[in-house]
Amino acid sequence: MKVSCLQMNMKLGRPEENFSHAERLIGEAMREKPDVLVLPETWNTGFFPKEHLTELCCNDGDTVKARIGSLAQKYGVNIVAGSVSNVRNGKVFNTAMIFDRQGACIAEYDKTHLFTPMGEQDYYTGGDHLCRFTLDGIKCGMIICYDIRFPELTRTLSLPGMDMLFMVSQWPKERIFHLRTLTAARAIENQMFVVCCNSCGTADETVYGGHSAVIDPLGKTLALAGETEEILFAACNMQILAEMRQSIPVFRDRRPALYHID
């Protein structure tokens, strides 16, 4: 599976400009004929405008489904459409949407763990469900940014069987070492590919650090972006999964009767 991460520099609080920019990046990425395109977190608004947030949001994902879903159908490509600031039933969510090659929205996910150090919980509502889906026969899962710091979430996603985890983020430059370490750890411990699409640029006083990456189940970085806007490509050989899981059978050797996580 060929994956492309669109490490996007979006404009804070300017959704129409960001939609147009995302559409241009998608068109550019399709020159390399990837199987999956991935956008970063809250790319419609940036992370995150505190003034007039509700007015800047999508309404139940309407614009994403109309514009990004139509591009998935046009190009015949799977799109993990990052996440967007999204109003649903009068509440604001940080919502990810996934589209198949026919342009159908096959999964949605609201960010579970809101980033309290920046007050995200004061403006957004946390999600109440996990997200699993299948792309081209490959079992996938979805998390958003701060979620990566909670290994119990990723392990819960992985237990039924998962081959690829998509993680989209607005991760600051000052903590890029954490991003690189956590994504590699999740790949190794769950024996799966991790696709991380981060943002870049500056919003208010925060500089976002880029370094989007595709990591294989051995923890090897297959592709790594820099700090500025970039389209990243990587080919994931799914055949290595069975060999890896057979040689180091961590899921078979688990002892869940001893694990107590509240």
43-71 tens-digit pLDDT? 999 999 999 999 999 999 999 999 999 99
Q: Report the alpha-carbon distance of residue 196 to residue 3 in Å, rounded.
A: 11
Contacts of 257 (CB under 8 A, 6+ apart): none
Give the pLDDT confidence score for residue 100 in this predicted structure.
Answer: 98
**Is 258 within the bounds of a domain?**
no
Give the pLDDT confidence score for residue 92 in this predicted structure.
Answer: 98
**Could you list the residue range(s) of the whole structural domain that residue 83 is in?**
2-248
Active site residues: 41, 111, 145
Structural domains in the chain (count): 1
Find the CATH number of the domain harbouring 142. Answer: 3.60.110.10
**Is 259 within the bounds of a domain?**
no
User: For the stretch 94-103, what's the b/e string if a residue is b when 16 or more beta carbons lie within 10 angstroms of its beta carbon?
Assistant: bbbbbbbbeb
Res. 260: pLDDT tops 90: no
Q: Report the alpha-carbon distance of residue 223 to residue 215 in Å, rounded.
A: 7
Indicate the residue type of 28: E
Q: Kindly state the helix (H) or strand (E) to which residue 202 belongs, with its residue range.
A: strand 200-203
Q: Is the pTM of this model over 0.85?
A: yes
Give me the percent of the chain exceeding a pLDDT of 90: 98
Q: What is the pLDDT of residues 188-245, one digit of tens each?
A: 999 999 999 999 999 989 999 999 999 999 999 999 999 999 999 999 999 999 999 9
Task: Identify the band that residue 261 occupies on the pLDDT scale cut at 50, 70 and 90.
Answer: confident
- 166: nearest Cα among 68, 37, 46: 37
Q: How many CB atoms lie within 10 A of CB 31?
A: 8
Contact 191, 245 (CB under 8 A): yes
Q: What is the mean pLDDT of residues 148-155?
A: 97
**Is 241 within the bounds of a domain?**
yes
**Is 255 within the bounds of a domain?**
no
**Is 253 within the bounds of a domain?**
no
Indicate the residue type of 159: L
Q: Report the alpha-carbon distance of residue 206 to residue 47 in Å, rounded.
A: 9
Give the pLDDT confidence score for residue 262 in this predicted structure.
Answer: 76
**Is 256 within the bounds of a domain?**
no
**Is 140 within the bounds of a domain?**
yes
Burial class (CB in 10 A: 0-12, 13-18, 19+), 122: exposed
Q: Report the alpha-carbon distance of residue 209 to residue 212 in Å, rounded.
A: 9
